[in-house]
């Protein structure tokens, strides 16, 4: 897409942080160290801390093929899931890949390679959104294997799946036997695997494009200007925007340069209005409880982010070319405390959103 043109926006909201924010214990989302390797630096909780520059490191160079990293998730309910995102990883340099699987009980997903999962993944369509260039169904159709073509952030979607228990496994991808879905492949012998955040939840696309008067801002709010008695002014820059560090292979979400001087500065913000939305696309049929089958703005976006509390992934065009799609995505949060909805005709509503980039 040229010039980051606006299409139909899409939201990727994280269910793990939603449950953590409502009191679920962090131990429900953890590394399975009894079968996989432990973190060398960092902890399981940091994989879900929504700080995408805080990488967790795993000593994958210590041995060849057996050092898989298995993350087990008890998602607390059978709410639909339709995306996984892995932010600020070095899977390409470390020669790793992602394998995921799901089940109806923890015993279905707590073994390496997802041997007990309850989903026939050959019947599920998995699609690249960002940097998920190779997608293959695993052996016996009990998992899906995703291999990124670059370090950075990876997002992929799949047909809505409601299983409660999930396994997300990181494993070697050096193809000793020519099969990129094999479980016995190895990591790079020089670079340890690093990853910052994992998100899993439901994708929601707006019913149509926003109104024409979308406002895009590039905010340089990190500059503190001080004026001397002589009238000279001096600036102290507290932040400049997205970051990258070539020594640790770390970068802000959806940045593609490995050097800080190769990144645009500032913070992107979108202010957009949506007109003439059907009432069923805005509010749930019943507000007394959450209906997992009722898709709408309140249930799938505003509730899952708890307003401005939880960051999310935002795409300005759900149909942008996935091969070069980083520019169309932001790691962001709402910069508004309320979602104002205005009825303009019988059962027809307008609403506005302000979305601001996070680093």
353 found inside a domain: no
pLDDT at position 182 is: 77
The alpha-carbon radius of gyration of the chain (Å, integer) is 21
Per-residue pLDDT of the chain (359 residues), as tens digits, is 557 899 999 999 999 999 999 999 999 999 999 999 999 999 999 999 999 999 999 999 986 556 899 999 999 999 999 999 999 999 999 999 999 999 999 999 999 998 887 899 999 999 999 999 999 998 789 999 999 999 999 999 999 999 999 999 999 998 766 667 777 789 999 999 999 999 999 999 999 999 999 999 999 988 999 999 999 999 999 999 999 999 889 999 999 999 999 999 999 999 999 999 999 999 999 999 999 999 999 999 999 999 999 999 999 999 988 878 999 999 999 999 999 999 999 999 999 999 999 99
- The H or E element spanning position 17 is helix 15-21
Calpha distance 306→298 (Å, rounded): 10
In a domain, 329, yes or no: no
pLDDT at residue 183, rounded to an integer: 78
Phi, psi of 294, deg, nearest 5: -100, 100
Q: What is the DSSP letter of 230?
A: T
Q: Is residue 324 part of a domain?
A: no
Quote the pLDDT of residue 176: 66
**Helix (H) / strand (E) containing 215:** strand 215-219
Alpha carbons 355 and 359: distance in angstroms, whole number: 13
- Is 349 within a domain? no
106 neighbors 72 (Cβ within 8 angstroms)? yes
Range of the domain at 193: 11-203
* pLDDT (0 to 100) of residue 102: 96
The pLDDT, as a whole number, for residue 305 is 98
Q: In 128-214, where does DSSP find H-type helix?
A: none
Say if residues 44 and 172 touch (Cβ distance below 8 Å).
Answer: no
* Alpha-carbon distance values, 179 to 19, 140, 182, 256 (Å): 37, 14, 6, 28
Is the residue at 306 inside a domain? Answer: no
Any idea which residue has 């309320």 for tokens?
338
For residue 46 the two structure tokens come to: 């940091």
Tell me what pLDDT residue 214 has: 97
Burial (CB < 10 A; 0-12, 13-18, 19+), residue 6, is middle
Domain count, the chain: 1
CA 189, 197, 259: angle at the middle one, nearest 5?
A: 65
45 falls within a domain: yes
Residue 90 falls within a domain, yes or no?
Answer: yes
CA dihedral 22, 26, 28, 29 (to 10 degrees): 110
Question: Within a domain: residue 23?
Answer: yes
Q: What is the pTM of this model?
A: 0.95
pLDDT value for 329: 96
DSSP letter at 246 equals: T
Domain containing residue 80: CATH number: 2.60.120.260
């Amino acid at each position: 897409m040229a010039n980051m043109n606006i299409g139909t926006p899409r939201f990727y909201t994280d269910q793990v942080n939603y449950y953590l924010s409502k009191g679920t214990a962090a131990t429900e989302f953890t590394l399975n160290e009894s079968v996989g390797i432990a973190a060398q630096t960092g902890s399981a909780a940091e994989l879900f801390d929504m700080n995408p520059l805080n990488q967790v490191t795993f000593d994958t160079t210590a041995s060849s093929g057996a050092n898989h990293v298995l993350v087990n998730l008890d998602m607390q309910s059978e709410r639909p899931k339709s995306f996984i995102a892995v932010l600020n990883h070095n899977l390409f340099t470390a020669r790793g890949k992602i394998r995921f699987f799901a089940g109806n009980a923890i015993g279905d997903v707590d073994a390496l390679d997802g041997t007990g999962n309850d989903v026939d993944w050959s019947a599920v369509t998995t699609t690249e959104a960002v940097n998920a260039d190779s997608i293959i169904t695993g052996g016996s159709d009990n998992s899906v294997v995703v291999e990124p073509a670059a370090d950075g952030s990876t997002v992929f979607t799949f047909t809505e799946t409601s299983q409660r228990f999930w396994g997300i496994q990181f494993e070697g991808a050096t193809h000793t036997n020519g099969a990129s879905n094999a479980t016995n492949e190895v990591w790079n012998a020089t670079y340890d695997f690093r990853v910052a955040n994992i998100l899993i939840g439901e994708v929601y696309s707006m019913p149509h494009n926003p109104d024409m008067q979308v406002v895009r801002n590039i905010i340089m709010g990190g500059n503190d200007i001080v004026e001397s008695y002589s009238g000279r002014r001096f600036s102290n820059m507290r932040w400049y925007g997205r970051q990258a560090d070539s020594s640790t292979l770390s970068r802000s979400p959806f940045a593609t340069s490995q050097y800080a001087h190769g990144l645009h500065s500032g913070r992107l913000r979108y202010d957009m209005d949506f007109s003439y939305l059907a009432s069923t696309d805005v509010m749930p049929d019943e507000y007394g409880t959450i209906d997992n089958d009722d898709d709408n703005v309140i249930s799938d976006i505003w509730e899952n982010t708890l307003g401005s509390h939880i960051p999310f992934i935002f795409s300005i065009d759900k149909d942008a070319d996935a091969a070069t799609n980083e520019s169309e995505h932001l790691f962001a949060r709402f910069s508004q405390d309320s979602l104002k909805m205005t009825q303009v005709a019988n059962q027809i509503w307008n609403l506005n959103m302000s979305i601001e980039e996070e680093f």
